[in-house]
Structure formats: C-alpha cells, structure tokens
Chain A
C-alpha cells in the first residue's frame, strides 16, 4: 500500500516533469534533483528525502506527452516513484518500460492526494474510499522488456544471440 503524494490532471508534459533547461544533465544519478523543478514545493520534498520510495504520482490522461526526453522517466525512477495514470503518451510509456519506472494504466481511477492505494497486477484499490478500478495490462512486447529487467539487458541478450548466430 502506498500514498498518493501528488495528484495531477490531463496532458502533463515532459516539460513539467523535467524542464528543458536541465536537459544537459543526462546521468540517471543526477536527473532526480530536477524532477518537477517548476513545482518547487514538491521538488523540495523529493530532494529532502521526505517522500518514501513506492509513493504514487496520480495523473489523468496522456501523462508524459511532448518531448521524448528520457530524463522525465529516469528522474522519477531515481526517487522510487510509481506513476498511476488514466493513460500515458507513447514515448514516455516506452521510456518508462525501458528504464524500469513502474507505470500503471488505470483508465477509471479516482483518488486524491493523501489517499492510500493498493496496486495489484489487475486493479488499483483505493483503500481510503474502498473503491477498486481495473488495470489495463501492458502490451506483451512491453512486459517482455520489463521481465528481462529493462531494455539494456533485453538488448544485450539480443546482441549476444546475434553474434552467436553470426559465428555459427
């Protein structure tokens, strides 16, 4: 069970999650400091370590629209956050899968800041309201990347396989 620490509306762009002026920072060890930099209060709480790992960002439709910047996924992963949204934009969703940022697609979810949610593979249960909402599973192709531990190990296995085949 984890708490909703930030509630957001529809069409939250990657410029909101990770402003463009910090794009020269690329290392996953350095990007978390700029997460939600233009929400100074939330950014401050993240940086101060006041938000426990596993906490939930709750969003509406089209979370992560806009720029393809991968920092928007790596900065949230660095804080151990989980994103539950009604829907995600394509590139952000794929970046999250590739990097191992937990994302949950829950088209009908209703909750507010401070609510306690239990996330299972099939549902998001709002323990504060008692309501349960079905989860849309990730595409099998995306699940395969998650199961491999992310795109880097997934691609590494493919690379090794390709070289073995070529050597035969």
Chain B
C-alpha cells in the first residue's frame, strides 16, 4: 500500500521508512514560527531549562521565525512590554528570522513565511498559530501547536509525540466560474465537512481546479482547513509551486527529492469530489464558520463594516480583485471599509500598481499590514448590534471584539461588491 503526502514527509523527517497514519513520531522541525505569543513561549522555554544546569539556548537560531502581527503597532502597554521581551530574547539568542514592526520587512506571519522562502516543499513546519495550516500550500506539512509545545521544539528541534494524521483526499474538478474564487471553494468545503469533519486529519487537495490555481489561492484554501478541524491542508508541489518559490520567494534551488507526490495507491480515510464549475459565491453566516450559504440566500443583509485582509485574503490578487470592483466608485454611505495588506511587500506592490489610490478614492481606509480586527483586539471593533462582512477566517461570537455584533465571512470580491451597496451583494451583479 502506498503513502499519502504527509506520511512521506514524516518518513523523511524521522528517517523511518514506513510511517503510517496512527503512528506516533518525533519529526525534526524545519521551521518553527511564532508571533507575539513568543512572549509565552520564551517563559516556558526558560522553564524547561530550569534546574538542569544547562544554559537556555535554542536548538537552531536559523530555524525559528518570529513575526509581530497580532497587535501592531502595540495597542496597549502590556503588548508593548511583551514585544520588548521578545526583541530582547531574539537578540540574546541571535534568532535570524525576526520580522519587527517595520515598513521594510513586516506583515502577517502566514504571508511573511512563504514570501521570504521560509517554507519549502517536504518541510515540517510548526507554528503557535492555528492558521499555520496555510503553508501546506507549498507542499510542506505545517500545523499549529501550543506555546508550551513550541518551547519544547525550541529546546529539542523536534515535535514531540506527533500522531501521524490520516488524510482526506479532496478532488476539485472543473474550473471556478468568473466571480467565484478560492475562498468560495473553501467555504463550501467547510460547510460540507462541518467544523469538526476533518478533526485530527489532513486535507490533501487534488484535481484540475487546484493545478490551475495560484499559490495565493492555495494559501487561502490551506489556511482555512483548520476551520473544518483539520491538522493541516496540503497541495502536492508542482510547476506553480516552483514558479512561486523562484519568482516570488527568492528561492534559487529546490532539491528534486523534496518534490514529493502521494502514491496512487495511498490509503485515504475519506475521498470527496467538488465540481468547481457549479460553485457560486458563498458566505459563512454568524456565529460559526460551517454555517455556509450561497450569497443569494442572505443578499440584502445590511453591513456596517467591511474588512479585506488577514492571513486568508490580504494578498495582492485579493486587493486587485477589490480595487477592480471599487475603482471609480464609492463605498456606500453608512458603511466603513477597512483594508489590511498582508505584508509590506504586498502593500508596496499595491501602491506601485495604484490599487491603494483606487481604494482610498472609493472611501476605504487602508491600514497597516497585520491581523487587524480579525481577533478582536484593535483596529476596527464593532458596535453593539453591528454587522461586519470580512474576508477573514472566523466568525465566532465576539470574535471581532464584541459579543453583541455579528460577523459574516466571504471572498474579497463579495466584500468589495457589498461595500458599494452597503448590504451583502453577489459580485456578479455589480459590473
């Protein structure tokens, strides 16, 4: 019997020949990512060394990435103090892949990793963030862990006690129709699988619609697999992966033996087929990500705040799609629109292409790269009874900072079309 892609990657990372779903392994880690919660990781890291007589040193200062994105610039003295502690730790350990709050290197961790070549095919990537699933888009096995687990990785360079996940194979046939984008596909899938349908499993993506999809779109898909409970999403690397690594991530050489494919006779726990050509624009309705409906069923719902951004949909093609709809038009009166480029590289490209000017002239507020209001800390809290329509990834009650508000999730095209009308709108009806 053949191997799934994740079984093959974990076989490489453990040096074991026959790694199967259900086995417990301790793979070496190729990249370990944290954001502001590195403040908690470093406490736990020091605790591991306590009483051993050993000096606390990270196992590999070049395989740890720390990116400030959740609360940038700091919204409180508490956050600022945490960030200060992390900066001091980074300096004392000589950690090389640190992205501070700066216009020449900052952004959201799940954008910084791929665009800087910090993720490669066949790598094992862990992150203290549930959306670490994103990086499966480049053919890595990439999953979220807690802060204490990360402290153990910093100390030992291995992920401890990893149960090899089973895999759900998702084949996406056909082609997405105009106005329908990867976000619609993943929302549809989450609706089908439910919020727990992929718990403890990996979703491996196949089919012509995936082969024809950009890395940006694949990042959107893999990003939200965790909303179905998945340990990760993964796309077998192909010509598009190599194009992205060479042209956008500045990676010169990708060893051939890292371009793994699952075996044709691999064992899948479940197989699912989606016909992309039948999909229409989707929204996830309050207060759960699997409460997914076609846009037409909720069209006309009044929205007070539109958010375009986040690790799910803040890349250049997302801003382009929004600007194309808003160019020369106006955000409806009574609706606020906030746009968060996913990184300063994205921000700069959007500036150079005139997209930022298009968005500002339409009435949108273009914010600094970062997580923005997605996790309810700052930069766009909602008032009592208000409704947000966002390209982010979670709509749990209170997620955007107020349990007396509602969040709908959608694609950048649905968000931009709805900004024009002030109500949830099918982008195919706005030309």
CA distance A73 to B39 in the complex (A): 17
Known contacts A23-B37, A62-B229, A90-B199; A159 and B52 CB within 8 A of each other? yes
Which one of A19, A67, A152 contacts B48 once the chains associate, using CB atoms below 8 Å?
A152
Known contacts A67-B130, A68-B129; A162 and B146 CB within 8 A of each other? no
CA distance A73 to B147 in the complex (A): 11
B304 within 8 A of A: no
A98 within 8 A of B: yes
Q: Does more than half of chain B's interface fall in helix, strand or loop, or is it mixed?
A: loop
CA distance A66 to B397 in the complex (A): 12
Task: Write the chain A residue with the least CB distance to B52.
Answer: A160
B15 within 8 A of A: no
A115 within 8 A of B: no
Which one of A38, A95, A163 contacts B403 once the chains associate, using CB atoms below 8 Å?
A38
* CB contact list, B199-213 vs A, under 8 A: 199-200
Asked if residues B196 and A11 are in contact (CB atoms below 8 Å), the reply is yes
Query: Of A41-49, A116-124, A127-135, A136-144, which stretch is located at the interface?
Result: A136-144
Which one of B39, B40, B145 contacts A94 once the chains associate, using CB atoms below 8 Å?
B145
A91 within 8 A of B: yes
- When distances are taken between beta carbons in the complex, the residues of chain A under 8 Å from B40 are 26, 70
Which one of B50, B76, B288 contacts A11 once the chains associate, using CB atoms below 8 Å?
B288
Asked if residues A26 and B82 are in contact (CB atoms below 8 Å), the reply is yes
Asked if residues A24 and B196 are in contact (CB atoms below 8 Å), the reply is no
B279 → A minimal CB distance (Å): 24
Residue of B48, B54, B76 with highest tally of chain A CB at under 10 A: B48
Q: How many chain-B residues does the 8 Å CB contact rule pick out? A: 54
Known contacts A13-B396, A15-B394; A68 and B144 CB within 8 A of each other? yes
Asked if residues A159 and B156 are in contact (CB atoms below 8 Å), the reply is yes
Residue of B71, B79, B145, B151 with highest tally of chain A CB at under 10 A: B145
A141 → B minimal CB distance (Å): 4
CA distance A61 to B197 in the complex (A): 11
- When distances are taken between beta carbons in the complex, the residues of chain B under 8 Å from A163 are 52, 54
Task: Write the chain B residue with the least CB distance to A13.
Answer: B396
A168 within 8 A of B: no
A100 → B minimal CB distance (Å): 10
Q: How many A-B residue pairs have CB under 8 A?
A: 150
B96 within 8 A of A: no
B29 within 8 A of A: no
CA distance A21 to B229 in the complex (A): 23
A21 → B minimal CB distance (Å): 5
CA distance A15 to B50 in the complex (A): 32
A140 → B minimal CB distance (Å): 7
* CB contact list, A81-118 vs B, under 8 A: 87, 89-91, 94-95, 98-99
Asked if residues B24 and A89 are in contact (CB atoms below 8 Å), the reply is no
CA distance A25 to B144 in the complex (A): 20
Task: Write the chain B residue with the least CB distance to A15.
Answer: B396
Which one of B147, B200, B399 contacts A15 once the chains associate, using CB atoms below 8 Å?
B399
Asked if residues B398 and A99 are in contact (CB atoms below 8 Å), the reply is no
CA distance A24 to B54 in the complex (A): 29
Asked if residues A98 and B403 are in contact (CB atoms below 8 Å), the reply is no
A34 → B minimal CB distance (Å): 12
Known contacts A140-B24, A159-B54, A160-B52; A65 and B195 CB within 8 A of each other? yes
B44 within 8 A of A: yes
- When distances are taken between beta carbons in the complex, the residues of chain B under 8 Å from A144 are 161
CA distance A16 to B79 in the complex (A): 21
Asked if residues A65 and B399 are in contact (CB atoms below 8 Å), the reply is no
- When distances are taken between beta carbons in the complex, the residues of chain B under 8 Å from A95 are 146, 148-149
Which one of A15, A89, A150 contacts B196 once the chains associate, using CB atoms below 8 Å?
A89
Which one of A27, A70, A99, A156 contacts B52 once the chains associate, using CB atoms below 8 Å?
A156
Identify 17 new A-B residue pairs, CB closer than 8 A, beyond the known A145-B161, A159-B156.
A11-B196, A15-B396, A15-B399, A20-B375, A20-B399, A26-B37, A62-B229, A65-B229, A68-B145, A70-B147, A87-B196, A87-B199, A89-B229, A98-B149, A141-B163, A154-B160, A159-B54
The 4 closest A-B pairs by CB, nearest first: A20-B375, A141-B161, A155-B152, A62-B196
A-B contact pairs, 28 of them (CB 8 A): A13-B396, A15-B376, A15-B397, A15-B398, A19-B376, A20-B399, A21-B377, A24-B36, A24-B71, A24-B377, A25-B78, A67-B394, A70-B40, A87-B199, A90-B199, A90-B229, A91-B130, A98-B148, A99-B148, A141-B163, A151-B149, A154-B152, A155-B152, A155-B156, A156-B51, A158-B160, A159-B48, A159-B52
Show the binding face of A for B, using Cβ within 8 Å: 10-11, 13, 15-16, 19-21, 23-27, 38, 61-62, 65-70, 73, 87, 89-91, 94-95, 98-99, 139-142, 144-145, 150-152, 154-156, 158-160, 162-163
Show the binding face of B for A, using Cβ within 8 Å: 24, 36-37, 39-40, 43-44, 47-52, 54, 70-71, 76, 78-79, 82, 128-130, 144-149, 151-152, 155-156, 160-161, 163, 195-196, 199-200, 229, 231, 288, 290, 375-377, 394, 396-399, 401, 403
